[in-house]
Chain A
Amino acid sequence: MKSSDYIRFNRLPHRWCAGCGYGQVMRSLTLALEKTGSTNENTVIVSGIGCWGHVDSYITTNAFHGTHGRALAFATGIKLANPELNVIVILGDGDGVTIGGNHFIQACRRNIDVTAILCNNFNYGMTGGQYSGTTPEHAITTTSTLGHIEHGFDICKLAEGAGAHFVARSISENVQQTADMIAAGIQRKGFSLVEVLSPCTVHFGRNNKMRRSSELYKWIKEHSIPMAAAKKLSEEQLEGRYVLGTFIDKPGLDYSTKYREVQAKAAAQLNK
């Protein structure tokens, strides 16, 4: 299938605001599906609730549209019940690491063989731009009008610490880089995370004095840095900047592979 064959054109136009980065990430997703030879029959896109969670209705594969924050738990059941399925999990920063933070770290730790595409737009876009677990300190949101006092998660470090086998970060406008990361994540056996920094122009941008979407795209560019360039900088110099690239890509046995051994041992025990 060609990348455009994965799009349900009859479901368009999409619901995302002008200037939103999710259309770009959706393009990356379809390119990755093409690159990995994914079929509609064998692929399940599992989403939670949030702006990015709408993407499953624009894609031609199977889908499961669950509850806010629980996509990885639904995906765990789907993948373990049928390990042959290609399970792609759609997460936002609220879904993935705020309300669903525990599901996130546990899915990384268990090494469930799914690929999570976490779009981080630094706030809750769908409900009107309130702060999330990734909102940077000092940022203005509709619930931190005097400046945010919490520290935002570094999602990639969280995934790495929790045991994910593929961890990468990109920005929405780097469509091809994001596509390559998603494809690599699909091909990597085990839990894969691709974080994509994406602009929420009508909330995060507007609330933080970036009235034009181009200003927020520029902000994301300025606050991110490719891994090669980052290596030349000190920790202090990197403070407040998001490193882009692939952090982890390591082989290992995923949960289903290990569980098959448990099943074989258990069956042997029973037949003794």
Chain B
Amino acid sequence: MSKNYEIRFAMGNDALAEGAIAAGARFYAGYPITPSSEVAEISSVRLPQVGGIYVQMEDEIGSMAAIIGASAAGVKSYTATSGPGISLMQENLGVAIMSEIPCVIIDVQRCGPSTGVATKPAQGDVMAARWGTHGDHSIIALSPSSVQECYDLTIRAFNLAERYRTPVFVLADEIIGHMREQYELHGGEIFNRKQPDPATPAGDFAPFDFEAYEDSIAPMPAYGGKHIIRMSGSMHGPYGFAANDGKSANKYIRHYVNKIEKHPDDIVCTDSFQMEDADVAIITFGCSARPAMAAMNTARAKGLKVGVLKLVTIWPFADKEVAEVLSKVKAVIVPEMNLGQVRSEVEKYNKNGIPVIGINRVDCEIITPNQVLDAIEEVLK
């Protein structure tokens, strides 16, 4: 049953798991948590079928550690969780950043803080993904707004993780995770982490000598080959040995940020709808993009010039695209199922001080197209 192409009617969580497998991931470690548990269940069935490994760890701290370990051993790896699990994963997320080990963290967001409302949706982890782990760093986060995007963006998340040797978030939510739609399992282009030049002599290899490479990313051989490697979550030098000096800290912390922030053309992805002549722009992401699109279509039918900028990449923030929208329209509406985490980012680029109106819900109900439409009509009054 080796098909390269298949059409399936399934929930977002199915597409998240299949996207990981299509990207070449063969290791999952996790701790079941609503509303992400189907990703674990499906992975536990699918991974051993393709020679991969599923292991259920004792908690999300251990899960994050295990996927980092597996990736260091050369196997693409991922986990899936929700709010409380994200809180626990923050500790070792820092290890993945510090030791530049690729991996993918799927967050099917639910209402928080704490245990919150376990079965209900929210988009409240935007800042937790960005700043949850301590210390300066940068992060990549992608946010699907359909089942197809769950599949496509998970593949893309792995490609970015491998390309930049960094952990990548897929910020889904309960609505997208449990919603059923048709999606295509089409494979797609796969990127694998760079390996050392075969001519490199055996023995100690410097997996953190990024300055020696034009793209600032050092190759990452796996344990077990001819290269001896030292991965470390402590501040280190090129060979991974502890370097507790300010010079090393300054060099590497800036590297972790620069390697991501300096490549917006490759990493940042937005979808623009009817923005050419728009007076009002809706800037949104994930599940909130759906009512935004519906509101835009209704508004257009009424003759109102409304467009949508959908943030497919949440982090790094689409500053250029958002600034351009802000310079062209009369007002911006930011619907999101939190109290303004993305709106506050949009405001940073609002040089002309145009109205930026948030539509914010934390009552576990999806934002409706009418709510967005009302805001459009209000602002155009």
A residues bordering B, Cβ < 8 Å?
11, 40-42, 44, 46, 49, 56-57, 60-67, 70, 73-82, 84-85, 102-103, 106, 110, 255, 259, 262-263, 265-267, 269-271
The answer to whether A82 and B92 touch (CB under 8 A), given A103-B58, A267-B49, is: no
Question: Which of the listed residues A40, A60, A76, A79 has the most CB atoms from chain B within 10 Å of its own CB?
Answer: A76
Question: Is the C-beta of B299 less than 8 angstroms from some C-beta in chain A?
Answer: no
A259 to B28, CA, bound (A): 13
Q: Across the interface, which residues of A come within 8 angstroms of B240, CB to CB?
A: 63, 65
Interface residue? B354 (CB, 8 A): no
Q: A65-B232, A102-B58 known; A70 and B65 CB under 8 Å?
A: yes
A/B interface sample: 10 pairs, CB < 8 A:
A41-B225, A63-B229, A63-B230, A64-B230, A70-B65, A79-B69, A81-B70, A81-B71, A82-B223, A102-B62
State whether the Cβ of B27 lies closer than 8 Å to any Cβ in chain A. yes
Tell me if B73 is interfacial: C-beta within 8 Å of chain A.
yes
- Tally B residues with Cβ within 8 Å of A: 49
- Bound-state Cα–Cα, A61 to B202, Å: 13
B111 within 8 A of A: no
Q: Do B65 and A62 touch (CB < 8 A)?
A: no
The residue that A77 contacts in the complex, of B49, B69, B94, with Cβ under 8 A, is B69
CB contact between B233 and one of A66, A73, A110, A265 (< 8 Å): that residue: A66
Pair A70/B73 contact, Cβ less than 8 Å: no
Task: Give the distance to chain A from B170, nearest Cβ to Cβ, in Å.
Answer: 19
Identify whether the interface residues of B are mostly helix, strand, loop, or mixed: mixed
Whole-angstrom CA separation of A57 from B241 in the bound complex: 7
Determine if B129 is an interface residue (Cβ-Cβ < 8 Å): no
Tell me if A77 and B228 are in contact (CB < 8 A): no
Closest 3 A/B residue pairs (Cβ): A77-B69, A73-B65, A77-B66
Contact A84 B228 (CB under 8 A): no
Q: Mark B13-51, 1 if CB is under 8 A from A, else 0.
A: 000000000000001010000000000000001001101
Bound state CA distance, A60 and B70, in angstroms? 21
Known: A77-B73, A80-B70. A40 touches B233 (CB 8 A): no
Say whether B77 contacts A66, CB under 8 Å: no
Does the CB pair B225–A81 fall under 8 Å?
no
Are B57 and A76 neighbours in the complex by a CB distance under 8 Å? Answer: yes
- Residues from chain B with a CB closer than 8 A to the CB of A76 are 29, 55, 57, 62, 65-66, 69
Which chain A residues border B71 with CB–CB below 8 Å? 77, 81
Query: Which residue on B lies nearest to A268, using beta carbons?
Result: B49
Most chain B CB neighbours (cut-off 10 Å) among A57, A74, A102, A262: A74
| Interface set, chain B 221-254, CB cutoff 8 A to A | 222-226, 228-234, 240-242
Q: Distance (Å) between the CB of B194 and the closest chain A CB?
A: 19
Contact in complex: A263, B48 (CB < 8 Å):
yes
Q: With the chains together, A77 CA to B229 CA distance in Å?
A: 16
B75 contacts the other chain (Cβ, under 8 Å)? Answer: yes
Chain A min CB distance to B56 (Å): 10
| Shortest Cβ distance from residue B63 to the other chain A in the assembled complex, whole angstroms | 8
Q: Which residues of A sit under 8 angstroms from B187, Cβ to Cβ?
A: none
Query: Within the complex, what minimum Cβ distance (angstroms) separates B362 from chain A?
Result: 33
Give the distance to chain A from B237, nearest Cβ to Cβ, in Å: 11
The yes or no answer to B217 lying at the interface (CB within 8 A) is no
Instruction: Determine whether the beta carbon of B49 is less than 8 Å from that of A61.
Output: no
- Tell me which residues across on chain A come within 8 A of B287, comparing CB atoms: none
